[in-house]
Amino acid sequence: MSIISSFSKPANIVIFGASGGIGNAIVEALAMDERAGNVIALSRTPPDFDSPKVTSLPVDIMDEASVAAIAGQCADAGPIDLVIVATGILHDGKRLRPEKRMQDLDAEAMAEVFRINTIAPAIIAKHFLPLMRRDEKTAFAAISARVGSIGDNRLGGWASYRASKAALNMLLKNLAIELARKHRDCAIVGLQPGTTDTALSAPFQRNVPRDQLQTPAYTARQLVRVMQALRSDDSGGLFDFLGLPFDP
């Protein structure tokens, strides 16, 4: 039986990155899903949502104390069924930008990318996995990237982003192995959203064919479908927006 379809009552869902293009669209998609109960939308600057299902709260994923505090607030709503980490960075329009060659590497910029793309999801998992429901199937999903696949790397470049996502993929695999000893019904997965029309991809859309550039709403619907189809034995895996697995 799949994860979300197994819920016997409306699910408690937590989404990090609710102000981002994909995270915001996922909140909107889940707010319309009858299986979703409470949807807690988290971001540094919480946006407003029309749905009464959605509670929008602030969090700083770069501050563990902030993550721990919001975990305490979320726990008050009851055991959590689904956590989605839709945070990440590729560039900031200033100092952070994908490297084209090794001479472009900058230690401070690289550390910042790792803090956001790898360390922050790890800290979120540390504080939220213990809050997951134990009497039904649950899931913890983080937005990853196919360019983080070591086996799929044919072009090089983008060293910090690639390496941070590869590290995230390993982290998710580690968490899946550890949690399987305690909570066999929780699937921990990485999700690849495809090229979506967001601020993250905006500077790199020029060479993307029009029919391959997805709207955030489409990407969100696809990712929700993938999460709805997850099974416990998918834990540790990486899946694209069509539900197809890909190599780490």
Give the model confidence (pLDDT) of 73-103 as tens digits: 999 988 999 999 999 999 887 778 899 999 9
Q: What pLDDT shows up at residue 236?
A: 96
Q: Indicate the domain borders of the chain.
A: 4-240
Q: Are 229 and 179 in contact (CB under 8 A)?
A: no
Map tokens 């590290």 to a residue.
Answer: 167
Q: Which helix (H) or strand (E) holds 189?
A: strand 186-192
Average pLDDT estimate for 55-83: 96
Q: Are 50 and 104 in contact (CB under 8 A)?
A: no
User: Which has the minimum average pLDDT: 49-63, 135-149, 193-207?
Assistant: 193-207
Give the residue-averaged pLDDT of 21-30: 96
Q: Are 158 and 105 in contact (CB under 8 A)?
A: no
DSSP state of 50: S
Q: Which CATH code is given to the segment(s) 4-240?
A: 3.40.50.720
For all residues of the chain together, what is the average pLDDT?
Answer: 91
Q: What is the predicted pLDDT for the residue at 158?
A: 94
Query: Cβ distance 221 to 173 under 8 Å?
Result: no
Helix H or strand E encompassing 41 = strand 36-43
pLDDT tens digits along 108-160: 999 999 999 999 999 999 999 999 998 888 999 999 999 898 888 888 999 99
Specify the pTM.
0.93
